[in-house]
Amino acid sequence: MIKENIKRLLNELPEGVELLAAAKERNADEISEAIKGGIKIIGENYLNDALGVMNEVTEKAEWHFIGHLQRNKVKKVIDIFDMIESVDSLRLAKEIEKWCEKRNKIMPILIEVNSGEENQKTGVAPNDVAQLIKDISSLNYVKIMGLMTMGPRFGDPEESRPYFIKTRAIFEQIEDLHLPNVEMKYLSMGMTNSYKVAIEEGANLVRIGTKIFGERREQ
């Protein structure tokens, strides 16, 4: 089932669009099957979830942290993840810098944009993205590689389109600044419900859970 889902998705995605399997609440067997099915990037929202499965997943993949990251988890997260997609403050970036310097490791990150400007959501407000990126770009062990957004959740994916358009516009503005130590390579947006619209609006990394693994238990 998982393998067929991935095959269908990979056939459908345009060239240049990478597929991340959002693995929250999935076990090691499910994740292994996804990697065997052609997934190259696994996304986890929680450090403890990742620690619970990583040792059992023997197949090689890149691991991206995609959830809200608390500063007291950073030390561990930088040891086991290849990218952090959810950086939304200078404080958090500095904590990553601190631990990466000790490990002499450079951590690729994406800046999470709160494109819906929702109070309760994580991510930096659209108007503050450029300044945050300028500030973080001066750090030596953190490398900005693009933007990520969730956007508000809707039943109709068309309603997500304005938020993807807004995030892409910010992406291009930052690109035009040609900041040192900033490489605007990834625009991570779109989930099961919305990835088609996200790709139309410029996403080149989509994060898909349900359409790969099936419905989550909680839903």
Ligand X SMILES: *Cc1c(COP(=O)(O)O)cnc(C)c1O
* H or E, element range at 16: none
Interface with ligand X by CB under 6 A: which range of 52-60, 100-108, 118-126, 189-197?
189-197
Residue 12: C-alpha distances to residues 5, 17, 102 (Å): 11, 10, 42
Interface with ligand X by CB under 6 A: which range of 52-60, 71-79, 124-132, 202-210?
202-210
Among the listed residues 27, 45, 122, 137, the single contact to ligand X using CB under 6 A: 45
* CA atoms within a 13 Å half-sphere pointing along the CA-CB vector of 154: 16
Instruction: Please state the closest distance from residue 44 (CB atom) to ligand X, in A.
Output: 9
With a CB cutoff of 8 Å and minimum separation 6, the contacts of 54 are 63, 80
Return the number of the residue (139 or 145) whose C-beta is nearest ligand X.
145
Instruction: Find how far residue 170's CA is from the centre of its chain.
Output: 17
Name the β-bridge partners of 63. Answer: 42
Residue nearest to ligand X (CB): 209
Q: Which residues ranging from 56 to 75 are in contact with ligand X (CB under 6 A)?
A: 66
Contact residues for ligand X, defined by CB under 6 A:
22, 24, 45, 66, 150, 191-193, 207-211
